[in-house]
Structure 1
Amino acid sequence: MSQVRDAAVAALLDNPTTARIRPVFEGNNISYAIGFKHINYVAEAAVLNHFRAAGWPVGALYKRLGLGFEVVEIRSRLGALLDVDDEAEAVVTPATKEGANEFTFKVAQYVQRDGERVKCADSTVRVALRIDGHIAAQEDYPAGLEPFAVARLGDGERRELAATPRPYGLLNEGRGVFGGDPVLDELIGEENAFGWRWRVPYFYCHFNERVQMSGFLRIMEEAEDLFLAERGLAIKEVLDTRNWIPVVTQSQLRLLGETRMEEELYTVYTIENIFKSLLYTARMDCYVVRDGALVKTATGTITHGYLTEHAPNQWSMATLDESAIEALSTPKRVTA
């Protein structure tokens, strides 16, 4: 970028960084492997480290400049398994285009396997700096940072709503509603889709008010879990009876707007295609109801398959049988 910039901003935009990051043990759900959500968390952690290395840790951005660090998009392709004991070498390469109002970074994760450096994931991470209305900036923005400071993360995609939303109930109403909801029925229509209505808790949020990227990654994983259970492919049962466990090869999530703490989120999980009895791709769309209209606040896709353990600690791709393909292809209808 050609404009005059503060040295720390220049470092954010120009200088690659490398961090050694261990995945969090929470992500070790099956055997010794780390799941897709925590692989994305490693990519986010690498970008956070990139900001620290440039001299702008996210706490300082917030306290001194009144800016909230926001991952607004993350796209990841998974290659090799990430082991619970791995220390990933995460290489962050700036890739922000001239005139952009979001930072873009390429993040590559490498691990050591039998003395060789193996790439286990590639990600593209986009970051905005959200101006926070709760606090006042203590100092001026450094030169070159202002284009990345945005008043909102977007306004979402609005569409008319014909259905009348039903009252949700109390804050402690469990995992929400999975069928028979008029708004979900309108959103799903005749699609091969699953719907989930749920009130988002504060611990999926940050900066006092809105759901952060890691929260939507958790929502995507839970939507998949609930969808599979509805289709008769509950993860534990399939693991016990077929020795299959879901595996993710690609994922993508984009925030289109802001989802506020404790809003009711309508999540629609749609099967888009099934590829050669090995993989299936699903799209997740998340909505809130505001001023009588539906507002899409996040969207993403995920590609799933199944692994099977053919020998102790040795995994390979499983072929989907006819009953699994039928379950993935046939929606269940619960109407209001």
Structure 2
Amino acid sequence: MTADTVPMSTKSLFGNTTRTTLRPRYEGSNICTWIGFKHVNYLVEEAVLEHFRGAGLPARTLFEELGLGLDIVDLDTRILHALHMDDLVDAEVVPATKEGDPVLVFKVTLSLERDGQPVKAVASKVKVSLRPADYLRSAAEPPAELAPFAVARLGAHLPDRQVVPVAAPADNTALSQGRGTTAADPVLEQLTEGDNAFGWKWRIPYPYCHFTERLQMSGYLRQMEEVVDLFLADRGISIKQLLDDRKWIPVVPHSRIQILDEALMEEDLYTVYTVEGVFKDFTYTSRMDCYVVRDCRLVQTATGRITHGYALIESRRDWRLVNFDDRVVRALNGEPTAG
């Protein structure tokens, strides 16, 4: 099969609304039966992949026959109502690509039934790039309809960023380090200096990558979830501590991740988590920035933001949002706490 014979429908890809039903994965239910933000975003991703399948362009065909990797490069998701284990979710994907856009754009809505009534649970905007595969032999030219969205590297459609010289990296991500390091590291120190920030350096593992070489969007979602976990533990308010002390859990109404460049399998990834603001002791927003070091300079590969609040578990089924207390506010602001 060649690019000329792939039975695709760009009319469907760019013009038709797709509807499908999905269920969240069991893995995503970590506290009681609620589904975390990462797995909510996995549902959004799956809805977009189903839209491509419906247009005769599943990710497998794009890669195997056309040499194009389907990469979600921007994922902006608002969670309006909590999803639970075993929920049946109605996913709607509406194409929103405009003439001249360098990426494919989709609006995704996840809805479900609560007490016999339909409820809009999630609203997301997704952007997709098509990355020609150059790991193996060179791929053929993409079909004309898809060519505007093919990029030589992820993030190539974005403005160039400032080149930042970097300190000599330390060799401290050996396998014996496990989850990497958050300790003294010259690059982390450069990236976090003067900010209310937490830094983490980690070797990019194979399971976070796709198309043989690069970190994918779901890997960055896992990275965001992990760095929050490490940050809270570093500030003395780990997730388990607040669960044990007061039955509080973090909840996420909004998250966004944007891929700016490519991060490759087994590179060291420097992740910086910066608290940007605490609002009315009810929510706080943070920024995640990810970097690799190449040719003695920093290359920023992703940026993202996440909004957190806290909820009190009232029963195995119910929770309610609560205000932060002084201990939590001081920890988030990087101030000493009494414990």
TM-score under structure 2 length normalisation: 0.93
Quick one: which of 269, 285, 293 aligns to 1:281?
A: 285
- The 2-side partners of 1:142 and 1:196 are apart by 41
Change (3 A) 1:118 1:137: farther
Distance 1:154 1:105 in 2: 18
Map Cα deviations across residues 240-298 of structure 1 (whole Å, 9 max, x no partner): 11110000010000000000001001110000000111100000000111100011100
Partner Cα distance (1:285, 1:169) in 2: 19
Mapped partners of 1:32, 1:13: distance in 2: 36
Are 1:324 and 2:325 an aligned pair? Answer: no
1:145 Cα deviation (Å)? Answer: 1.2
* 1:198 matches 2:202: yes
Alignment of 1:91-170 (within 5 A): 91-136=92-137, 141-154=142-155, 157-170=161-174
CA displacement 1:45-80 (0-9 Å, x = unmatched): 000000000011110000110000000010000011
Quick check: 1:210–1:259 contact (8 Å CA) kept in 2?
A: yes
User: How large is the RMSD of aligned CA atoms in angstroms?
Assistant: 1.6
Counterparts of 1:7 and 1:292, CA distance in 2: 44
Structure 1 residue 291 corresponds to structure 2 residue 292:
no
Query: Secondary structure of 1:49's partner?
Result: helix
2:30 corresponds in structure 1 to 29
Structure 1 residues 163 and 241: alpha-carbon distance in aligned structure 2, compared to 1, 3 A threshold: same
Query: How many residue pairs align between the two structures?
Result: 327
- Distance in structure 1 (CA, Å) of the matches to 2:41 and 2:261: 20
Structure 2 counterpart of 1:232, from 223, 233, 236: 236
Query: Structure 1 residues 145-154 or 295-304, which shifts more?
Result: 145-154
Q: Does 1:74 align with 2:75?
A: yes
**3-state SS of the aligned residue for 1:317?**
strand
Instruction: After TM superposition, give the deviation of residue 169 of structure 1 in Å.
Output: 4.5
The separation in 2 between residues aligned to 1:8 and 1:137, in whole angstroms, is 24
SS in structure 2 of the partner of residue 150 of structure 1: coil
Matched letter for residue 14 of structure 1: G
Deviation, structure 1 residue 175: 0.6
> TM-score, with normalisation over the residues of structure 1?
0.94
Aligned-pair distance for 1:134?
A: 2.8
Gaps of 5+ in 2: 1-6
| 2:235–2:331 contact (8 Å) kept in structure 1 | yes
Contact 2:20 2:92 in 1 (8 A): yes
Residue 177 of structure 1 aligns to a residue whose secondary structure is coil
Aligned to 2:271: 267
- CA distance, structure 1, for counterparts of residue 132 and residue 98 of structure 2: 21
The equivalences for 1:29-68 within 5 A come to 29-68=30-69
8 Å Cα contact 1:158-1:293 kept in structure 2: no
Amino acid at match of 1:300: G
The equivalent residue for 1:3 is none
How much has 1:323 moved relative to structure 2?
A: 0.9
1:177-196 correspondence runs (5 A): 177-196=181-200
Q: What is the aligned partner in structure 2 of residue 300 from structure 1?
A: 304
* Amino acid of the structure 2 residue aligned with 1:56: L
Identity %: 49
User: Which residue identity lines up with residue 274 of structure 1 in the other structure?
Assistant: V
Amino acid at match of 1:105: F
Q: Return the offset for 1:141.
A: 3.5
Q: Matched residue of 2:184: which SS? A: coil
The Cα shift of 1:10 comes to 1.6
- Tell me, what secondary structure is at the counterpart of 1:164? coil
Shift of 1:122: 0.4
Q: Any conservation in 1 of the 2:67–2:140 contact (CA below 8 Å)? A: no
* Amino acid in the other structure paired with 2:219: G
Q: Give SS of 1:108's match.
A: strand
- SS of residue matched to 1:72: strand
Structure 2: distance between partners of 1:197 and 1:31 = 31
Q: For residues 297-324 of structure 1, what are the alpha-carbon distances to aligned partners after superposition, in whole Å with 9 as ceiling and x for unaligned?
A: 0000000011102344221001100111
Q: 1:101, CA displacement in angstroms?
A: 2.0
When residues 139 and 132 of structure 1 are mapped into structure 2, their CA distance, relative to the original with a 3 A threshold, is closer
What is the CA deviation profile of residues 14-67 of structure 1, one whole-angstrom value per residue up to 9, with x for unaligned ones?
A: 101001011111000011110000000000000000000001111000011000
Structure 1: unaligned runs, 5 residues or longer:
1-5
Read off the aligned partner of 1:179 and give its amino acid letter. Answer: A
Give the drift of 1:139. Answer: 6.4
Contact 2:262 2:301 in 1 (8 A): yes
Following superposition, the deviation at residue 7 of structure 1 comes to 6.2
Distance 1:202 1:293 in 2: 24
